[in-house]
Amino acid sequence: MKIVFIGDVVARAGRDALAKYLPEVRSELNPDVVIVNGENAAHGIGINEKICKEFFDLGVDVITLGNHAWDQREVIPYIEREQRLVRPLNYPAQTPGKGSYIHTLRDGRKIMVINAMARLFMDPLDDPFGQVDQLVSAHKMGKTVHAIFLDFHGEATSEKMAMAHYMDGKISAVVGTHTHIPTADAQILPKGTALQCDAGMTGDYNSVIGMNINTPIMRFTRKFSIEKLSPAEGDGTMCGTYIETDDATGLAKEIRAIRRGPRLSNQ
Compute the distance between CA of residue 188 and CA of residue 196 in angstroms, rounded to an integer. Answer: 9
In the chain, the number of structural domains is 1
Q: What pLDDT is recorded for position 40?
A: 96
Q: Which of 201, 172, 183, 164 is nearest to 3 (CA)?
A: 172
Q: Does any domain span residue 30?
A: yes
Q: Does any domain span residue 112?
A: yes
Compute the distance between CA of residue 103 and CA of residue 4 in angstroms, rounded to an integer. Answer: 14
Q: Does any domain span residue 265?
A: no
- Tally the C-alpha atoms within 13 A of residue 56's C-alpha that lie toward its C-beta: 13
Compute the distance between CA of residue 58 and CA of residue 99 in angstroms, rounded to an integer. Answer: 23
Q: Does any domain span residue 266?
A: no
Arithmetic mean of pLDDT over the chain: 95
Q: Which of 191, 36, 7, 3 is nearest to 110 (CA)?
A: 3
Q: Does any domain span residue 186?
A: yes
pTM, 2 dp: 0.96
Q: Does any domain span residue 51?
A: yes
The catalytic site residues sit at 68
Compute the distance between CA of residue 42 and CA of residue 133 in angstroms, rounded to an integer. Answer: 31
Q: Does any domain span residue 224?
A: yes
CB 39 within 8 A of CB 67: yes
* Beta bridge mates, 110: 104
How would DSSP label each residue in 143-212? TTBSEEEEEEE-S-HHHHHHHHHHTBTTBSEEEEESS-S--S--EE-TTS-EEES----BB-SSSBTTB-
- Our CA angle for 171, 174, 180, nearest 5°, is 165
Q: Does any domain span residue 267?
A: no
Domain encompassing residue 89: 2-260
CATH at residue 228: 3.60.21.10
Render each residue's pLDDT in the chain as its tens digit; 267 residues. Answer: 999 999 999 999 999 999 999 999 999 999 999 999 999 999 999 999 999 999 999 999 999 999 999 999 999 999 999 999 999 999 998 999 999 999 999 999 999 999 999 999 998 899 999 999 999 999 989 889 999 999 999 999 999 999 999 999 999 999 999 999 999 999 999 999 999 999 999 999 999 999 999 999 999 998 877 788 899 999 999 999 999 999 999 999 999 999 999 999 765
